[in-house]
Structure 1
Amino acid sequence: MKFSVLISVYYKEQSSFLDRALSSIWHDQSVKPSQIVLVCDGILTDELYECISKWQDTLKDMFNVVKLERNVGLADALRIGLNECRYELVARMDSDDVSVPDRFEKQIEFFKTHDVDVCGGCVAEFDTDENCIYAYKKVPQNHDEIVKFAKFRNPINHPSVMFKKSSVFAVDSYERMLYFEDYYLWVKMMMQEMKFYNMKEVLVKMRAGQGQLNRRAGGQYALCEFKFLKRLYDVRFLKFHEFVLNAAIKFAIRIMPRTIIKRIYLILRE
């Protein structure tokens, strides 16, 4: 069963992280992808270009590199990249994460036997050493639980998903929604009664740590989160009391000291 892998990279990424991510989806996998689409979101560093050139020499026509002249952001980069994916099944992967060796094998087998549009899984979080896991980001397994969970938190680990391209196109693909591009896509698909499932197993090791925490704290993130919640209310995914409760709790969390936010994240992952 053929499938594509979709990745976006921009200039702040480290070449060693990208190299490890690509290695994990090619050299390490028990079932290899039929195509890898890498979107270069704007001008990259020389080190990243060298890494990409090495993989082009290795993978040849299986490795499609889409070079954008300027940085357009994750939503637009993935939207453009998805148009280049040849196959109905598309796996997402971040440019600094590590897919576990049997990830694609498990997801492909699940799509063969179940009628779903999106299949994700749990992720293991690490800081610098992928063998030193400090937390697990678990998500609800079954569709009804996923939809219920989505009222308050993102129910899908984006770097772990495999989805049907036609289903994503049916809701107009990724849209600009800073920090919440994937979450909004899932909501749009849920509102069209598309089916979701999360495996209990860890499918991806995710590079998290202090950098991720810093991105998810402070006034700018709080404002973007409020706009996102307002959009969910406007499209009638959230009821008014759900919108108010979400906005109040999440704004309070975002402006807390980062040490407290880190502790809250760890509690949520226990």
Structure 2
Amino acid sequence: MGEISVLFPVAATSDPSDLNRAHRSITEQTSPPAEIVLVTNQSLTEDTETAINDLVNTHSISRHEHFPDAKGLGGVLQAGLKGCLMPFVARMDADDISEPERFTHQLNVLKETNAHIVGSHLAEFRDDPEPPERTRKVPTSHNEIAEWMPWRCPVNHPTVMFDREAVLDAGGYRDFPLMEDWDLWARGLAAGLQFRNLNQTLVRANVNNLVDRREGLNYAMAEIQMAWKLRKLGVASPRDTLQHLCLRVPPRLLPSYIGKRIYDIFAR
């Protein structure tokens, strides 16, 4: 029996072809999961609902859990995480692609080292995954990840696999709009969890319209709240907080074409 649950949130308007491609990349893993938990908290379009039902009906390891009272992405991820049955949980998004050996590599690290959370580099594409436009590289060692934590998210959320019990003990996901992942990593670091990113690119992510979703006053406010949270947790020093606010807040308020250019240069 497998040891991996896949926590797979699906948005109300997820594209069925993307969803099927993402799901297929999981079922074709060299270390297949024991269960795939597709989680939702919104009313779905007819096409998306049909696609989910088809996946559940044709794959015995897949199930759909709907949490209408879950607030935001953090809320639905936490509800889904509590319902996962396996000791290790892998995250997956509905428009991304996992490389075939992703789970094998990550499971080996979780079982053979003291790491609780394992991610990887992330290849980014628009529409066509071949070839990706760029790779978002992240630090690999725990110490390097801890150094990044005060001012830049050091773990690519769609790439992670983690120890379920350890993450729940650290508080799990919360409703922290636009920063659910960074909030969890920061609290995990403060709680003593060990991190590692593999020096491999194990997931390809569709970043269409990503810049549009990461600009504006709401995102600037989320950056300010995150900076304050990092300081409150003792993860960031006053200097770290100043650097965070100066480097990350202003770009969120720039016009779209400038924000896109900055994203293209620095890849977040």
Q: So what's the TM-score if we normalise by structure 2?
A: 0.95
Match of 2:93 in 1: 94
Query: How far apart are residue 269 of structure 1 and its match?
Result: 4.1
Task: Specify the SS of the correspondent of 2:93.
Answer: coil
Match of 1:8 in 2: 9
Change (3 A) 1:49 1:66: same
CA contact (8 A) 2:8 2:38 kept: yes
2:33 maps to a residue whose letter is P
Q: Structure 1 residue 120 and structure 2 residue 141: aligned?
A: no
Q: Structure 1 residue 36 and structure 2 residue 47: aligned?
A: no
Could you report, residue by residue, the CA deviation over 1:98-157 in whole angstroms, capped at 9, with x for unpaired residues? Answer: 111111111122223212100100110000011131110000000000000111110000
CA contact (8 A) 1:42 1:71 kept: no
Query: How far apart are residue 164 of structure 1 and its match?
Result: 0.3
The separation in 1 between residues aligned to 2:92 and 2:48, in whole angstroms, is 17
Task: Specify the SS of the correspondent of 2:32.
Answer: coil
Query: How far apart are residue 4 of structure 1 and its match?
Result: 0.5
The separation in 2 between residues aligned to 1:14 and 1:33, in whole angstroms, is 23
CA contact (8 A) 2:110 2:163 kept: no
CA contact (8 A) 2:120 2:198 kept: yes
Match of 2:49 in 1: 49
Which stretches in structure 2 are left out of the alignment for 5+ residues? Answer: none
Q: Structure 1 residue 142 and structure 2 residue 153: aligned?
A: no
Which stretches in structure 1 are left out of the alignment for 5+ residues? Answer: none
The separation in 1 between residues aligned to 2:112 and 2:239, in whole angstroms, is 39
Task: Specify the SS of the correspondent of 1:96.
Answer: coil
Match of 1:250 in 2: 248
Q: Which moved more, 1:218-227 or 1:180-189?
A: 218-227
The separation in 1 between residues aligned to 2:106 and 2:91, in whole angstroms, is 12
Task: Specify the SS of the correspondent of 2:133.
Answer: strand
How many residue pairs get matched? 267
Match of 2:221 in 1: 223
1:5 maps to a residue whose letter is V
Q: So what's the TM-score if we normalise by structure 1?
A: 0.94
2:213 maps to a residue whose letter is R
CA contact (8 A) 1:4 1:37 kept: yes
The separation in 2 between residues aligned to 1:236 and 1:262, in whole angstroms, is 32
RMSD over equivalenced CA pairs, Å: 1.5
Identity of aligned residues (%): 31
The separation in 2 between residues aligned to 1:253 and 1:177, in whole angstroms, is 20
- Structure 1 runs of 4+ aligned residues shifted over 3 Å read none
CA contact (8 A) 1:42 1:72 kept: no
